[in-house]
Amino acid sequence: MFSDADSGSLKLDQGVHIGDCLRLPDQRFDLNLVDERSRFCLRVRETHVSAFAKASGLALPTQVGTTRQDENALIMCLSPDEWLIIAASESKDLIKRKTDQFKSAPFSLVDVSHRNVAFTLRGEGAAAMVNVGCPLDLDLKAFPVGKCTRTIFERAEIILYRPAETEFHIEVWRSFAPYVLSVLSNGAQAQ
Amino acid sequence: MMLIECPVCKEKRPELEFRYAGEAHIARPEDPDALSDQEWAKYLFIRSNPRGTHFERWVHAHGCAKFFNAVRDTVTDKFVMTYKCGEARPSPEQIAERQS
Ligand SMILES: [Zn+2]
């Protein structure tokens, strides 16, 4: 469903709304829905990664849990042969064109743009809010800036990325988003 | 919560991210047609079920999503070590060294 944004451009209604209980005046974090993005799940055999990166020009991080941001996309290495690519929604064709340059072996690029929605949690209380549903150690030594991983948030699977010390980016399957928000709002009220 | 070391992520991670996947080092017979029903049933169903050191498969389901192998003590539920699929079963000496 599309609606006219203030600027006059078309914006996708992602169907997820952050309730008032996550907008309390005294809370130590800000939670926001990330605008529409293009997202791809990329699978390349470990033995072909460097050739793929060279041909496509996509600088794939090769260590599990690391990310790379360039002018076109944010690329997260989730597994030795799996990456999540997040780019501006208008960059969809660009990513496809780049990966098409690699022709010497099979690989898989799946458009999962609208499978996920993403939230950003910012502020002093951001890590504590992630820990409401996620058992990972978010100390900066264990989870430094730039780290990403697939993990769980209560009963939902998420991808967690830390772009800054007090900022987290959470990717979640769209149908799980209301559940994640309800867990977060319970946590916000308890804090 | 128990922490399990994933040999792919090279990190200790919460047990909730993992799933158990049965006994390790059980090779599928090269030629199933050549097996008797009894031999095939043995491959499918019969497991060692030891009291103590057990070699088993795990999958980091909500992490890197890779399978790996682990040595776990079935009495204490302690993980002695984990290692990647394809690597040799650790020797009794290697296990004893980790346990000491
Ligand atoms: Zn892992």
**What is the ipTM, given to two decimal places?**
0.91
3-state secondary structure of B79: strand
Choose, out of A46, A62, A79, the residue to mutate when testing the contact with B (most B CBs < 10 Å): A79
pLDDT value at A113 more than 90:
yes
Burial class (CB in 10 A: 0-12, 13-18, 19+), A122: middle
Q: pLDDT-based confidence at A10, cuts 50/70/90?
A: low
Mean pLDDT value of segment B49-68: 97
Nearest-angstrom CA–CA distance, B98 and B100: 6
Q: pLDDT-based confidence at A5, cuts 50/70/90?
A: very low
Question: pLDDT tens for residues A147-190?
Answer: 999 999 999 999 999 999 999 999 999 999 999 999 999 999 88
CB contacts of B8 in chain A (<8 Å) are: 64, 79-80
CB contacts of A136 in chain B (<8 Å) are: 13-14
SS3 string of chain A? CEEECCCCCEEECCCCCCCHHHCCCCCCCEEEECCCEEEEEEECCHHHHHHHHHHHCCCCCCCCCCEEECCCEEEEEEECCEEEEEEEHHHHHHHHHHHHCCCCCCCEEEECCCCEEEEEEECCCHHHHHCCCCCCCCCCCCCCCCCEEEEEECCEEEEEEEEECCEEEEEEEHHHHHHHHHHHHHHHHHC
* B8·A79 Cβ contact <8 A: yes
* B8·A157 Cβ contact <8 A: no
pLDDT value at A22 more than 80:
yes
> How many residue pairs bridge chain A and chain B with CB atoms within 8 Å of each other?
36
Choose, out of A46, A66, A151, the residue to mutate when testing the contact with B (most B CBs < 10 Å): A151
| Candidate from A65, A80, A151 with C-beta closest to B17 | A151
* A152·B62 Cβ contact <8 A: yes
Q: pLDDT-based confidence at A1, cuts 50/70/90?
A: very low
Q: Give the amino acid at A117.
A: V
Whether residue A37 contacts residue A89, with contact meaning beta carbons closer than 8 Å, is answered with yes
Domains of chain A listed by start with CATH number: 19-36+115-191 (3.30.1360.120), 37-113 (3.30.70.1520)
The hierarchical CATH code for the domain B3-25+49-99 is 3.30.2270.10
Which pTM value belongs to this model? 0.92
- Which single residue is written with the structure tokens 């010390």? A165
Annotated domain spans of chain B: 3-25+49-99
Q: What is the mean pLDDT of chain B?
A: 96
* A150·B65 Cβ contact <8 A: yes
Per-residue pLDDT, A108: 98
β-strand partners of A46? none
Q: What is the mean pLDDT of chain A?
A: 93
Q: pLDDT-based confidence at A19, cuts 50/70/90?
A: confident
Per-residue pLDDT, A9: 54
| Candidate from B1, B9, B66 with C-beta closest to A65 | B9
